[in-house]
Every structure is written in structure tokens, then in C-alpha cells.
Amino acid sequence: MAEHRGSGFPEGAGTPGPDDGEDLREAGRGFVAAQVPGAVRDADGRVVWDADAYGFLTGPPPDTADPLLWRQGRLRSRQGLYEVTDGVYQVRGLDLAHMTLVESGHGVVVVDPLGSAETAAAALALYRGHRGPRPVTGVVLAQAHTDHFGGVGGVLPPGEEGVPVLAPAGFLEHAVSETVYAGPVAARGAVRAYGTVLPKAPDGQIGAGPGPTASTGTLTLVRPTVEVVRAGQEEVVDGVRFVLQPAPGAGAPAATNFLLPERRALFVVENAAHALQDVPALCGARAGDARAWARFLDATVRLLAGSADVLLSSHHWPTWGRERVERLLCGQRDLFAYLHDQTLRLANQGLTAAEAAERFRLPPPLERLWRSRGHYGPLDDAVRAVHRRWTGSGEDGPARRWGHPPADAGRRYVECLGGGDAVVARAREYAAAGDLRFAATLLDHVVLAEPGHSGARGELASVYRRLGYASADGGRRNAYLTAALELQGELPKTDRAVAPEAVSALAVDQIVDSLAARVNGPRAWEMHLVMDWSLVEESRVWRLTLSNGALTSRSFAEGEQPPGAPAGLSLTLSRTQLMAMLGGAPLEGVDLQGDPAILGRLVSVLDAPDLMPGPLAP
């Protein structure tokens, strides 16, 4: 086995207590049936999910995998329909997250319909195959990350109306931020963290921490009909009573827990799980707030836990028994509170983020818990995230506040150290001595300075593989192995379909904002244009202004005369026509006044959306 990270600082810190097999028993409790075969395909026959690919995890851990991560991968790759308690089921192992199904008066309420329409449809079909053809009578989107909502189109086909959709306040805003505004950023982060392009194998992708990996099917989205705005809010969906607790910042900017009082079941999204959750948001989303996380968990214990006999989430397996539920919640609360407070203490003592991460240790009682393992966001990354939440980059030292870009710095380092060959030779020495982190730093400089240096690329790929094999964190392992694959020129381009109805769910302001983030500023510096969109369904007009490379907008009621120069182009159109126009369709049936070339000028300065516009490595 390669030395653990080559640094002397184990991810998650310390050694957990003996494995009593309880996690394995609970992960299999309530099993009804698996989907056979475990592959899910899209309409074109492309495999978007393959649960069967993880069959190798039944064997013992190899030298190419950390034993703790291998154990987690085995537990989390179990696939099928499970009965959690009377009238509450989960489909697990058909995506990164679980689908929870709560049987209701006339059908079933779907909670977190997975990440792709295809996997969600397959999960619902598996449930119906054993529980009957119950219609979907409600949906709960418990979190604003795509693995919790992206499959909603698979359970609520387009045009199906009248089904209540519950979501935390701010859900649509944050869902759009992740999937539309910063879509390429999130996509690259997901490729790294989830290892979606890696082969599923003992020396490849073995899991991602919260689940096996992310599906690659069609992303869908619907507008919520009911917002969760306060703790204790009650909603009745087809006879099922939900007692809700919003938890913004704990795992996602918009999230909600809920209690099913009549079922004595408590759902906590991913706020408490069988691993340290992803505070730094390795998948490209916004970092979590460890302090808020701890406070919300304490509120969950105080408000809801006493009425629950089972705790379930959208990741990992349930926990049964009132005392064990409370113990898990309190342990996770203390974990996040200690992480936040001790990191801030070290920052106040003058330690930088890197120094605090190197020094940080968990107290022995937390260290011994299996669920304190950093399988989805290592402890040192969590410390850095908390530190930077308070200090930004100001505590990294003056010399690092205005350094050269990586490639420019790399050229200078390599020149000072005697050239690429000399640096590669020294890196080999550090790698042989077990200091893989510094070996990677040296080789990274060479690859950036001399991209064609095959020796440096090969050595860095080898070091990345060793770091990946030794990592107990799924995201870090996947990032290292993905970078190694790219250094060898073997990284396939990835893409993902977005259903038209997902974009149609956006508010007009969000559509304009998404366009503004695509404006190529330097190309638009000298361009000035004003355009009005009059949306017939909204009875409002949106005025778009492009000046100084910035696209801004304001809205006003029809008939108003806003200040400033009149629009050079006015379009009166429906939302359907707007979406078609933005997709490149001709302006058929659109009431157009003014110069139509203005629309072409705006389109000419928009960057094309590209999920993988640049390299991931080094």
C-alpha cells in the first residue's frame, strides 16, 4: 500500500473503532428487490448509470485502494428497493443520491428524485413493480444540488400539472446558480469529485463518498409550488403530514429536513450521514457553513428527533432506534461545531489555512466514530474551507497575495531550479522518500512551464495515482486519478443533456442573468445596445442594456415609460417563443419593432456554453 498521502496527516485523522458489522446490517435492512440489470439507458441507448459496474467491491480491498474508502464504497453501492418503515421506501444505488417514497392517500410522494430523468424513471418503475402503479401525488425537492432534483422530469413528465412540489426557500435561485450560471464550473467539479470519466475498477473509480458516482442522463427542473420558510412549518400532501425544518447553508444554500410524525421517520437530507460531509463542496458547488450546520443539527435534535424511531437521508443508509438516532445527530453536531470553532481558534492564533489544516486533530471520541471519516470531503479540506470563510485569502501571506499565474510562476521556478530535467530528477527523489505532495508540486511546475515534457507528465501521473490510491476520500481519489488520466491524454470529453423544460422553469431575470454570464466582455467593450422583451404571460417588459461589456436589465409594467433612451429593438413574445429564440430558432410569430440586427449583435458576443472548456489537470 502506498504511504497514506505521503504527508503523515491522515484524512479524517486517527483510526476508527472496531467494525462491529452494524453498518453492513443496516445497509441491507428492509431489502425488497434489486433492479436487474443495473444499467439505465437514455432514449438513444447510451448508458447513463451502471450499478453492476461496482460488483468488484464484494472482494477484499486491493493495494490500489484505501481500506476505509473500499468499505464505504461497498456499503454505498448496494442497489435496490428498501422498506425503511411502514409506508416509507427508498430506492438506493441507482444514482448518487437515494429516492425516498412516502406512500400517501391516493399514491406516493417522491422525495429527492435523483439526478437524471432516466434514473428517476427507473427507480420509480422499480418501486411500482413491487408496490403497485401508484401515481405521484407530491414531490419534495429537499436540496438545491442537482443530485436531489435533476431527475424530477422522470417522475413528473412535462405537462403533468396540479402535483404539489415542496422545496426550501431560495431553491430555484440556488439550483439555477449551480446548473446554469456556473454550469461549466460545477460540471468540471463533478468530473473531478465523482470520477465520472474513470473506469469502475479496483485501480479506478470505487465511489464518491455520498454515493457511487453521479449519473449522466438528462437534467430536468420544475418550479416549486410550496416554499419551506420556517422551522415547524406543516404541510399536508395527499394526506401525509410533513413537519419541516429549513437548513440553509448546511450541505447546500437551500435545504430542508422534515419529520413524518405518523410514521415516526425523520429525514435529514445530507445534514447528518455516515461520513464527514462535504464542507468544501468539492463538486463545484458553494462551500457549506460548518457553524450553521452544527446549529441546525442541534435544532433538529431539539425539535424533531424525539418523535423519530428512524433517521433517513438522501445518502447512506438509515439508522433505527430513538437513542441511536439522537446519538448520531449529536455526534454530527459536535463534529461540525468542533471543526468550525477549533479552526477559527487556530486562525485567531495566526495560523494560515494550510497550517491550521496540518495541525488540526479531532478529539478521540469523535475520531473513533466511523461516521467521522472524510470520505466525502477530507478533514484538512474542511479546515481550509472554514478558515477561508472567515479570512478570505488575506491570511496566506503578502508574498502569495499577488503571485504570478501558475504557468508563469512554473517557468520561473523551473528556471531557478536548473531546468525541467533537473526538477523531474529531484521530484523522483521526493516521491521515492514518500513525500508525494512535494513531488507533485515540483512536477506541476514543470508541466506548466514545459507542457510537452513527457517525462514530467508521466512522473506526475504516477504520483497522482499513488496519491489517489492512498486517499480515504472518494472525491480526492477521483480528482487525482482523473488528472492522471488527462496527463496521459486519455480523458474523454463529457457532456450532459438539459431538458428544455428545465430551462423553461427559470424566471426571466434568471434567463437574463445566465446570458450576462456568457457575454465576452472584451469583445463587447465598444458595443452599446438596448432591447426590450415584452412577455405576454407576465404583462411586464424586460429592458436589456449592453454597455461597457456588461449586460444589465430592469423590468417594468406594460405601458410604463422607463427613463433613458428607447430600445432599438422591441420583441413581444411568449415564454415558449423566448426559449426558442434563445435556442437559435427564427423569430416566427414574434411581434418585432425596430432593428432585428440588434439581437444578432448580442448573440455574437455570447460565449458558447461548454461543460468542459479547458483542461482539468495539472
Q: Average pLDDT of 504-530?
A: 91
What is the percent of the chain with per-residue pLDDT over 90, rounded to a whole number?
68
For 257, phi then psi, to 5°, come to: -95, 165
Identify the CA nearest to 116 among candidates 59, 183, 48: 48
Report the distance separating Cα 18 and Cα 119, nearest Å.
36
Report the distance separating Cα 210 and Cα 270, nearest Å.
9
Mean predicted lDDT score pLDDT of the chain: 89
Mean pLDDT lowest for which of 188-197, 224-233, 349-358, 511-520?
Answer: 188-197
Instruction: Give kind and range of the element (H or E) at residue 493.
Output: none
What pTM did the predictor assign?
0.90
Contacts of range 197-202, beta carbons closer than 8 Å, 24 or more positions apart: 197/482, 197/485, 197/491, 197/492, 197/494, 198/478, 198/481, 198/482, 198/485, 200/50, 200/53, 200/54, 200/56, 201/56, 202/56, 202/59, 202/62, 202/64, 202/65
pLDDT given at position 284: 54
**Burial of 332 (C-beta count, 10 Å sphere; 0-12/13-18/19+):** buried
Given the DSSP bridges, would you call strands 569-573 and 529-535 parallel, antiparallel or unpaired? parallel
189: helix, strand or coil: helix
For 555, phi then psi, to 5°, come to: -125, 155
Exposure on the CB side of residue 617, measured as CA atoms within 13 A:
30
CATH architecture of residue range(s) 507-604: 2-Layer Sandwich (3.30)
**DSSP summary character for residue 153:** G
Chain Cα centroid distance, residue 89: 24
Exposure on the CB side of residue 460, measured as CA atoms within 13 A:
30
**DSSP summary character for residue 215:** -
Q: Which residues of 549-563 are buried (b: 16+ CB within 10 A; e: fewer)?
A: eebebebeeeeeeee
Mean pLDDT lowest for which of 79-93, 135-149, 493-507, 559-573?
Answer: 493-507
> Which pLDDT tens digit goes with each residue over 433-477?
999 999 999 999 999 999 999 999 999 999 999 999 999 999 999
First to last CA, the chain: 24
Report the distance separating Cα 109 and Cα 156, nearest Å.
11
pLDDT given at position 542: 95
> Which pLDDT tens digit goes with each residue over 360-383?
999 998 888 878 877 777 889 899
- Domain map of the chain by residue range? 22-372, 507-604
Is the CB of residue 274 less than 8 Å from the CB of residue 370? yes
CATH architecture of residue range(s) 22-372: 4-Layer Sandwich (3.60)
> Which pLDDT tens digit goes with each residue over 252-264?
889 999 999 999 9
Kindly indicate the confidence band of residue 616, based on its pLDDT and cuts at 50, 70 and 90.
very low
Q: Across the beta sheet with 88-92, what order do the strands follow? A: 31-33, 80-85, 88-92, 99-103, 108-111, 136-140, 165-168, 226-228
Identify the CA nearest to 205 among candidates 5, 478, 475, 1: 478
Kindly indicate the confidence band of residue 178, based on its pLDDT and cuts at 50, 70 and 90.
confident
- pLDDT at position 618 over 90: no
> Which pLDDT tens digit goes with each residue over 167-177?
999 999 888 87
